[in-house]
Chains A and B, each alone.
Chain A
């Protein structure tokens, strides 16, 4: 389980990274985060949706409804926009820099 403040601080980077490969719907994003990080990132389910809508509003992702294969209500799939892809690259670079600088403090 991650430190919640770390999760919050990097939420955009995490969500954009998960959406990089293919469009995904909310629950898929949650389970992908869980699986890919061995449970390290465990989202509060309800808080995910306002976060996704915030990214949509910022035009970093777009969303479209598609039928559910379980026959229930339609799922809303999110995918990266060009601006989202750029933002992801930038956030990733910032994170790498930060990471390497912090690491440099104890690897002297």
Chain B
């Protein structure tokens, strides 16, 4: 991806956070790439093709404003103002509890509001780093940290690392400080967003499970061991990758996409099994037989369809089917052999997992990527 495209994607998604920002970036990147190919086929050089693709997509500001309105401001209705007040009261207290912000269930609504757009429900864990935690962890290592308030929702931190000298700029959520009172609150940053921002500017290593650490530019941040399991889950959620006690991720190579880098770093099934012991079910695909795996009624359990090559696996379908045992669903079935894999953060006991086998009626074939299936009313259950 060339620098202009990178800059465009950044500008189009500034002010968005975490998972949603990543999704929108990827969606736009796919659009741009497709258009670049079209223009290249028409005879333009790669640079010209990129320029044209970006021009046709329009000003990044227009996309940013459209998305920002959707994923942030409209949430601040009456309830939002009330929650904003709660947040204003609660955040400094939680920040004082522990530098690594772990979402407590009592406060999940208020804490959700810290990202303004609400992408995660209270069931999911989202580790947050506070500005105080970064200062406590990095300043003793000689790093000076300066903060620049940008607006009432975001601010910038600059980490000035002495040796080797480098300044890393991070945008972070500044908390809902009140402009009238001119009272800046501590800033917060999603762990995954923090790592991604660092990785965009320098190489970063992530090691350990019991003592989760980030290493970049000769400095390190070590996290409270009691959060390791949750961090591991967060990693799996964001990067489809299980961190392990002995795993060290080599620095990203030039031009390597961060999440892809993680995905491809999984070299064997053993890496997967070390931590969460995923439950594996393998079935052979037949054109006339469809295999679904249903898990316990817990939204944390994701059903993931992967192809046979785990190292190059791609998630085709990640919605929980737990609540759609009957009715119409769409399922992407690659035409190559495949198997179903489901991962559990807490492996369920035997009785909660069933393998559901049925013959699905293919109601519509020849979609771009698979079949649309109609589940029959009556199904045969076959425990694995």
Contacts and interface: CB of A to CB of B under 8 A. Distances in A.
Interface of A: 22-23, 25-27, 44-47, 49-51, 53-54, 57, 64-68, 70, 72-77, 79
A75 B58 contact: no
B29 interface: yes
Given A50-B66, A50-B67, A50-B70, A45 B30 contact: no
B37 A76 contact: no
B369 A77 contact: yes
Task: From A46, A53, A74, A77, name the one whose CB has the most chain B CB atoms within 10 angstroms.
Answer: A46
Contact of A65 (B26, B60, B368): B26
B102 interface: no
Given A25-B30, A49-B28, A67 B314 contact: yes
B33 interface: yes
Contacts of A64: 317-319, 332
A1 B155 CA distance: 43
Task: From B27, B35, B37, B330, name the one whose CB has the most chain A CB atoms within 10 angstroms.
Answer: B27
B299 interface: no
B286 interface: no
Interface residues on B, range: 35 or more
B33 A72 contact: yes
B24 interface: yes
A50 B63 contact: yes
A76 B63 contact: no
24 contacts: A22-B368, A23-B368, A23-B369, A25-B30, A26-B27, A45-B57, A45-B58, A46-B57, A47-B58, A50-B69, A51-B66, A64-B319, A64-B332, A65-B23, A65-B315, A67-B314, A68-B30, A70-B33, A72-B30, A72-B33, A73-B26, A73-B29, A75-B30, A76-B30
B56 interface: yes
A25 B28 CA distance: 11
Given A44-B58, A67-B314, A72-B34, A79 B66 contact: no
B70 A72 contact: no
B315 to A, nearest CB: 8
A79 B330 contact: yes
B66 A49 contact: yes
A54 to B, nearest CB: 6
A65 B24 CA distance: 11
B326 interface: no
B239 interface: no
The 3 A-B residue pairs whose C-beta atoms are closest, nearest first, are A50-B66, A46-B58, A72-B33
Task: From A64, A72, A73, name the one whose CB has the most chain B CB atoms within 10 angstroms.
Answer: A73
B59 interface: yes
B330 A23 contact: yes
B93 to A, nearest CB: 31
A23 B367 contact: yes
B26 A74 contact: yes
Given A47-B58, A65-B315, A70-B33, 7 more contacts: A53-B67, A64-B317, A68-B34, A72-B30, A72-B34, A73-B33, A75-B27
Contacts of B28: 49
B120 interface: no
A94 to B, nearest CB: 24
A101 B154 CA distance: 50
Given A50-B66, A53-B67, A77-B369, A45 B31 contact: yes
